[in-house]
Structure 1
């Protein structure tokens, strides 16, 4: 028994001493393998040639369909607000002409009656004038009256035209004054040169001279033509065989009655709502029986014979887009693809208005509106789809 115990003790001690040596050797082997693998990975990565990124040939964007030009809201004039719509003569999709009546207000019948009454008053006033002139030389008096009427009409037209010229030049003068003040401030701030400021001052001075000249011409027209009319009236007084004062009073009554007719005609015209331009009724905003106001309007019209797609292109893609590039437009609402050409690129960066339903989409994206003119066939297909959301694909690698 003692021999056996001594044998185990002698053989166990060397084994315990060898364990740290074995562990150290194993660690060296594992470390060597790890270094070898990393070396191989670096070598393989260095051997991979860089891949060439494919050239971008298209830019995609969301957008909407719009008719050519602006969408116009047809409203009533301020004097006709508060009336009700009696008749609505159009429906959505109807094509209308410029000046076409699209709605009638309930004030029409009353205003029509007032117009007829005003016309009757003209007849009464004219009959009274004829009675006053009964004993005069009818032919000469009528000829002279025609001369006076012609001179008055010419004077009125000339004064109106020159007054409009004065008003226009006044507006130009105001603009020139504002521009000069702005350039003066810029000059004081050191933002522009003196020559640039002086050019605005010259424009201001020129506008002042033009206004003075226009006012002088207006005074000349008023004085010279007034003198001619006075001379013509004096001639009428000489040839009349009745008291001129009686004729003048009767003529004034006729003119007053005629003016009342014009007022009644203008009031009646307000009850007939007309389209300011040709186009297509895109939307009806009011119905018969409703009270109309200038803010809401009655209908919206647009020129849908020629449709556009307005793409909201990300500002990062803007440099790739150019006028003349071909475009493909699609939507889930239409079966066929639409085609067109980039016609105009916007100049303003703004927030995106047409947003994808994807919840991960960046709704605060900065975009530029790009107008795409659809070809004739495509325009016809979507003439009735104003504001339809579409997907737009611009072929930036080519131009038509």
Structure 2
């Protein structure tokens, strides 16, 4: 039975063997120099290959849990540029309809504002004026009739009740005339508050168009940067899960992310050369240390078991592969490799 400590010990032995092989190579090179001082210590570790900037997971939509792919525009290995269309999501048609509705509402509100600013139509004004003219004429007639009835009453020809009944029509007609004149004045006047309301409704309608356009754009998944499609996680008809829609990366320049033991990290400096060894790759791969991590953490490459030896504390070191060597591993993102950093 091989427990976590036995596995860790075997890994450390592998590192020692790697260092010994590298040291022998250096010693052989310097064997012809009689008084060459002992070479500084080499540093070794495990790592993995990644594109420049790492792997980008393209999610696809503000609510990826409810997003279904309607149409996928790319395939694994395709090269894309920033803002290129990767996929169309399932609610695209609904968002397009919402945008059309919002744009139509803007046109309605624009027409409403123009109508308020122009005031009432001539036909409406003419109709209101005709009502006022008719009531004026009617008022004149009832006033004349009231005067005639008054003469009859004074001559005792009609009773007081009949006289008052006929003259009450003057007050009624006069009230109707006042109401009609007020209506005409209201229609003929352009009220500032009506214009403000119409303008506010137009602003709101235009804002809704902006929201609809944002929602529609959310149904298009676009490349966030230049790169190559490394992995497709969801195709047409499938729901986008926690892994996202696609993985992509800039494989024109490849890096190695190496885990170096904390006990060795002070021996590593930016600018040091590094050799990379990978199973199945015969070509020599070289690079340069570019970045050294600022934190110490538990090793990930050697063990994913949470019960494993936690004493294996490492620092992440980023190595930029030489341009002429990058293409050897351009299609091998996440390939595990062994790294030797030269003094």
Q: Same fold (TM over 0.5)?
A: yes
Note if contact 1:80-1:271 (Cα within 8 Å) is conserved in structure 2. Answer: no
| Aligned counterpart for 2:231 among listed residues 274, 283, 291 | 283
The residue number in structure 2 matching 1:131 is 115
Q: How far off its partner does 1:86 sit?
A: 0.5
| Aligned counterpart for 2:80 among listed residues 90, 96, 99 | 96
Note if contact 2:88-2:221 (Cα within 8 Å) is conserved in structure 1. Answer: yes
Question: What secondary structure sits across from 1:333 in the alignment?
Answer: coil
Task: Deviation per CA, 1:185-204: give whole Å up to 9, x if none.
Answer: xxxxxxxxxxxxxxxxxxxx
The residue number in structure 2 matching 1:274 is 222
| Aligned counterpart for 1:385 among listed residues 328, 332, 336 | 332
Please report the RMSD computed on the Cα atoms of aligned residues, expressed in angstroms. 2.9
Give the direction of change, closer, same or farther, for the CA distance of 1:132–1:351 in structure 2 (3 Å limit).
closer
Alignment pair present for 1:58 and 2:5: no
Unaligned runs of 5+ in 1: 1-51, 137-239, 357-361
**Mean Cα displacement is larger for which, 311-320 or 376-385?**
311-320
The residue number in structure 1 matching 2:296 is 349
Question: What secondary structure sits across from 1:346 in the alignment?
Answer: strand
The residue number in structure 2 matching 1:73 is 57
Note if contact 1:343-1:372 (Cα within 8 Å) is conserved in structure 2. Answer: yes
The residue number in structure 2 matching 1:122 is 106
> Using the alignment, how far apart are the partners of 1:315 and 1:244 within structure 2?
75
Task: Deviation per CA, 1:351-371: give whole Å up to 9, x if none.
Answer: 333339xxxxx9963333221
Give the direction of change, closer, same or farther, for the CA distance of 1:330–1:252 in structure 2 (3 Å limit).
same
> Using the alignment, how far apart are the partners of 1:321 and 1:256 within structure 2?
61
Q: How far off its partner does 1:389 sit?
A: 0.9
Give the direction of change, closer, same or farther, for the CA distance of 1:110–1:378 in structure 2 (3 Å limit).
same
| Aligned counterpart for 1:334 among listed residues 281, 284, 303 | 281
Q: Which has the higher strand share?
A: 2
| Aligned counterpart for 2:202 among listed residues 251, 254, 259 | 254
Unaligned runs of 5+ in 2: 1-35, 121-187, 304-308
Instruction: Provide the TM-score with structure 1 as the length reference.
Output: 0.53
> Using the alignment, how far apart are the partners of 2:312 and 2:251 within structure 1?
30
Note if contact 1:62-1:312 (Cα within 8 Å) is conserved in structure 2. Answer: yes
Give the direction of change, closer, same or farther, for the CA distance of 1:134–1:395 in structure 2 (3 Å limit).
same
Equivalent positions of 1:134-213 (< 5 A) are 134=118
Alignment pair present for 1:371 and 2:318: yes
Task: Deviation per CA, 1:280-327: give whole Å up to 9, x if none.
Answer: 22222222211224x331122223222211222233433432221111
Q: Which has the higher helix share?
A: 1
